[in-house]
Amino acid sequence: MDESFPKRFRIKKRHEFRRIYEKGRRISARFVIIHHLDSGLDYPRIGITVTKKVGNAAVRNRWKRLIREVFRKNRPAFPPKDMVITVKKGVNPPSYRELEEDIVGAVARIDNRNGR
């Protein structure tokens, strides 16, 4: 399995983030909130938001690295949707394993709702 993270799997544009927030659904997990919307593509795409309320730049960058790694290593578990993963404020960065279980579990719940 290819574990790279090419540009086609990323959501970068502000209007894409807004579309997902406004038209999509959300699911909450222990460390993150995942907004999701059908994309019409046959592969998943993610965007990551970590506000300043979470911590300083080093902490925010650590969160983003961990989330990207979870996505990279578990891409087949993600449904073919656009997803914005937002870190909850006031939560310390967990271990990689805890975050992986949290995100993959939440994504499985998205898939079980038949696209809802």
pTM: 0.89
The CATH class given to the 7-112 domain equals alpha beta
**For the segment 33-92, what is each residue's pLDDT rounded down to a tens digit?**
999 999 899 999 999 999 999 999 999 999 999 999 999 999 999 999 999 999 999 888
Which residue type does 69 have? E
The CA-atom distances, in angstroms, between 96 and each of 18, 21, 61, 66, 85 are 28, 26, 14, 6, 15
Q: Give the start-to-end residue ranges of the domains of the chain.
A: 7-112
pLDDT digits (tens, 9 = 90+) for 16-45: 999 999 999 999 999 999 999 998 999 999
